[in-house]
Structure 1
Amino acid sequence: MSTKFNLDKRIFDDYYGADYFKKTKEILDKYKPNQQVTMQWFQRKNNTVICGIEMICELLRDSGVKNLIVEGLNDGDIANENEPVLKITGKYSDFAYLEGLIDGILSRASTVATNAFRVKNAANGKLVLNMNDRMDIYSTQQIDGYASYVGGISSLVTAASFEYIDLEANLNGTMPHALIASFDGDIIEATRAYKETFPNNNLVSLIDYNNDCVTDGLKVAREFKESLYAVRLDTSKALVDKSLQDLREEKDELHGVNPTLVKKLREELDKEGYNHVKIIVSSGFDEEKIKYFEQLNTPVDIYGVGEALTKNKVSFTGDLVLIDGKNQAKVGRQNISSNRIKSIKYI
């Protein structure tokens, strides 16, 4: 198993380990130096995409401890509530300081992988763009990119997101509102500058800047014709696009990016022969919103998803369940046999 996660070496100086784990290690080294334990990790949700096992194996390998028995699921496997996903057997003092890190790796990676899997399925095979870089601190981009890939989404927008993936970085950014603002709100000039600066990129124009997506979508289509790959709508949920303001709404269904707006835009583009122009939508999209759009046969080609990839946290817990091969666990926890977890050679 090769190294690909580039782990911070300070881990092995107890830099990230919680103090109570460090103290437990010292106590056991003194009083129980030869004790063998089995620690078991699980979570409490059904249909969770497990991710982080490969990183944990690298963590154990880099720790230098060679006599641990490791059993686990594979990254990408689906687990249900209370099902063991990882077991480590050996001297607890050899890996006690890693317990919290293992909890955190499994939790973060499995959260993103599970959300990516569900969003991808909701999109019915349409391309999903991971735009989560702006929703969290930059230091999560590497593990989030890997977990997104495990969950089925490999369209990423930062180089860091590809660091742990065996794929060439194929960045999928479009343009921000800041570019249009820099050209005094002129969407044509901003799009032209993008095209001339990056002539080999797919030309995507952001068309909600003036809150008039249909007008501006047609404007850029007429100007750039066959060279225009797509238009992106990112309307705030606080606004109703100008093209819809004469319509009556009941429950804010015309606010933000909505099916009525997308259908109207598609219809107007097609009327003028711009059938080739794809429609990208972003702003608040999650599994449920994508399902809603798909149920209404909304003509979306690409979904941009951000915060939804880190919502609905999946939390993992590790428990000692065997001491020297005998059952020993806190009340409510026990060693659970599983024919799904397999022996893992981490060295």
Structure 2
Amino acid sequence: MTLFNNKRLDKKLFAIDVERMQLGWYSDAYFINIFNILETLAKENYTFQGISDIKEINEKLVNTGDLKVEMQFFTRRKPFSLIAGVDESLAILEDCTGYFDENNQFINTYEQLEVEAIQDGTFAFYAGDPQNVQPVLKVRGRYRDIAKLETPILGALTEASRVATNVYNVLEATQGKDVLFFPARFTHYKLQALHGYAYSLAVQAYNHKHNKNSSTFVSTDDQGDWWGGKGGGTVAHSAIACFLGDTAETMAQFSRIIPIEVPRIALVDFHNDCVGDTLLVMEKMFEKYWQYYSEGNLEEAKKYKLFAVRSDTSGSMRDISVEPLGAEELDLGVNPRLVWNMRKAIDHAYLRWNIPAPARDLAITWCKDVKIVVTGGFNVEKIKKFEKLQVPVDIYGVGSSLLENCSYHGSGNDFTADIVRVFIGDQWYPMAKVGRTHCNNPNLELIKG
């Protein structure tokens, strides 16, 4: 299934290190070795001197150094991958296919290739049979011109598809609830744009497949760079520390100063008392809200509309509101009982307030509109447990698990590239290691050739 508008990313976004890519700087050394061998053989006008697996040809007429091949790239993640990294792979091919001449000038031979590729954001399936795969990229051309590019292309496909597929699986687990993309601190900053793009593809793919309307929330501007998103967020524990531990005052000043389009989400676990700090924040925020609302200043009142509260309780801590049962999985961290405690407190917070009668109905709605965001150690398995128990979580914040290699799906997130055919004379002949073969994918599109 191909998604969206069939537009590919501008290759300038990838900021590819073209000069060093052409030199093989990012390539496994054995690809440099085969390139050097083939280049030398081409200069020597060498013809094949061995015994070919292809019996119907005259192998003595094969110029090995200039052999034209067909390569196919495919995922080995079971049962499927949401593919990303194709557009970057195409950019690598376009700028880095070729060789250096005797004057050490790079000769780009991309125009001599035939290339087919699927769209980023397309599903590819793998049932575990390497003879029945769905290639996401096919390249036909002189092998020595593309030998150095296999490593970076496989890396681009693997990294982006791993994150996209992980995010998609998380969205399946949440049943379409919004997922805050929080892995920036768990990887090198240069990967933020790639990861954020993969995340955006996953949200679009999930919405498209399930007719949902999940939103995108990234935490840094770079995560949104390739697709037009902007980083968003509210407060960190360090902000509360700067306000000497007063979470309510932190949120009051945040709401006064930060533009209204930024959701007001209070982080409420600073004192390991999520219920207590939630109630303090809500009381202070509604007091300001009602003040401006009653004056008719609705725009200023909107600044104090609390969007959500977030618990990030450490997995080694038991929140004050959670009565101990003697089992870590039931007592510690962000657990279902804590979230239920928070929901009950949020919905009935207005009963504690000394407010005039005209404010009561407004306060009831204001409280019920407050959402609950949970973060800290959430992955597919934990989210599924919460959803099965119908825990009243509105938004999940997920971080490091979105970057993990999901080995429980068989072969992890590996991508593989194989030569599957060679061109001799005027026709293609099968040529692949045992267990691999030439395969097709109906979602492949002709890029050039």
TM-score category (smaller protein)? over 0.9
The share of aligned pairs that are identical, in percent, is: 36
Post-superposition Cα deviations, 1:159-212, rounded to whole Å, max 9, x if no partner, equal: 1111211x2x33221211111122222212222332233142222110001000
1:33 aligns with 2:94: no
1:171 aligns with 2:204: no
Moved more, 35-44 or 107-116: 35-44
1:333 aligns with 2:419: no
Q: 2:145 aligns with which of 64, 82, 94?
A: 94
Q: 2:417 aligns with which of 313, 318, 333?
A: 318
Q: Distance in 1 between matches of 2:89 and 2:216?
A: 22
Task: Tell me the equivalent position of 1:106.
Answer: 157
Note the C-alpha offset of 1:346. 5.4
Over 3 Å counting, the alpha-carbon distance change for 1:279 and 1:23 in structure 2 is same
Post-superposition Cα deviations, 1:255-281, rounded to whole Å, max 9, x if no partner, equal: 111111111111111012311211111
Task: Tell me the equivalent position of 1:70.
Answer: 115
Q: 2:88 aligns with which of 55, 69, 83?
A: 55
Q: 2:382 aligns with which of 283, 289, 307?
A: 289
Note the C-alpha offset of 1:216. 0.5
Pairing 1:116-131 to 2, within 5 Å after superposition? 116-131=167-182
Q: Which amino acid aligns with 2:446?
A: I
Q: Distance in 2 between matches of 1:154 and 1:211?
A: 29
Q: Distance in 2 between matches of 1:271 and 1:346?
A: 63
Pairing 1:10-49 to 2, within 5 Å after superposition? 10-31=20-41, 32-44=64-76, 45-49=78-82
Post-superposition Cα deviations, 1:137-178, rounded to whole Å, max 9, x if no partner, equal: 11110111111111117311111111211x2x3322121111
Show structure 1 runs of 4+ deviating over 3 A: none
Note the C-alpha offset of 1:319. 1.4
1:306 aligns with 2:399: yes
Residue 72 of structure 1 contacts residue 342 of structure 1 at CA under 8 Å; is this kept in 2?
Answer: yes
Residue 197 of structure 2 contacts residue 226 of structure 2 at CA under 8 Å; is this kept in 1?
Answer: yes
Q: Distance in 1 between matches of 2:86 and 2:174?
A: 27
Task: Tell me the equivalent position of 1:343.
Answer: 445
Note the C-alpha offset of 1:26. 2.0
Pairing 1:218-257 to 2, within 5 Å after superposition? 218-225=279-286, 226=289, 227=304, 228-244=306-322, 246-250=323-327, 252-257=329-334
Tell which structure's C-alpha radius of gyration is larger. 2
Note the C-alpha offset of 1:341. 4.3
Post-superposition Cα deviations, 1:4-41, rounded to whole Å, max 9, x if no partner, equal: 32322232232212222122112112323321111122
Residue 60 of structure 1 contacts residue 346 of structure 1 at CA under 8 Å; is this kept in 2?
Answer: no
Residue 61 of structure 1 contacts residue 346 of structure 1 at CA under 8 Å; is this kept in 2?
Answer: no
Secondary structure, counterpart of 1:15 in structure 2: coil
Unaligned runs of at least 5 residues, structure 1: none
Moved more, 8-17 or 200-209: 8-17
TM-score (norm 2): 0.73
Task: Tell me the equivalent position of 1:195.
Answer: 255
Identify which of structures 1 and 2 has the higher relative contact order when contacts are C-alpha pairs closer than 8 Å and 6+ apart: 1
1:154 aligns with 2:216: yes
Note the C-alpha offset of 1:107. 0.7
Q: Distance in 2 between matches of 1:124 and 1:78?
A: 19
Note the C-alpha offset of 1:300. 1.2
Q: Distance in 2 between matches of 1:34 and 1:137?
A: 39
Over 3 Å counting, the alpha-carbon distance change for 1:189 and 1:76 in structure 2 is same
Residue 42 of structure 1 contacts residue 316 of structure 1 at CA under 8 Å; is this kept in 2?
Answer: yes
Residue 178 of structure 2 contacts residue 216 of structure 2 at CA under 8 Å; is this kept in 1?
Answer: no
Unaligned runs of at least 5 residues, structure 2: 1-7, 42-63, 97-107, 204-214, 290-303, 350-363, 407-411
Secondary structure, counterpart of 2:167 in structure 1: helix
Secondary structure, counterpart of 1:48 in structure 2: strand
Note the C-alpha offset of 1:61. 1.5
Q: 1:270 aligns with which of 332, 336, 347?
A: 347
Secondary structure, counterpart of 1:314 in structure 2: strand
Q: Distance in 1 between matches of 2:123 and 2:330?
A: 35
Q: 2:15 aligns with which of 6, 9, 22?
A: 6
Q: Distance in 1 between matches of 2:66 and 2:25?
A: 25
Secondary structure, counterpart of 2:157 in structure 1: helix
Instruction: Tell me the matched-pair count.
Output: 343
Secondary structure, counterpart of 2:421 in structure 1: strand
Secondary structure, counterpart of 2:73 in structure 1: strand
Moved more, 323-332 or 114-123: 323-332
Note the C-alpha offset of 1:90. 0.5
Moved more, 39-48 or 337-346: 337-346
Secondary structure, counterpart of 1:242 in structure 2: coil
Note the C-alpha offset of 1:339. 4.0
Note the C-alpha offset of 1:224. 0.4
Task: Tell me the equivalent position of 2:58.
Answer: none
Q: Which amino acid aligns with 1:290?
A: I
Residue 129 of structure 1 contacts residue 172 of structure 1 at CA under 8 Å; is this kept in 2?
Answer: no
Note the C-alpha offset of 1:72. 2.8
Note the C-alpha offset of 1:251. 5.1
Q: Distance in 1 between matches of 2:327 and 2:444?
A: 54
Q: Distance in 1 between matches of 2:171 and 2:23?
A: 39
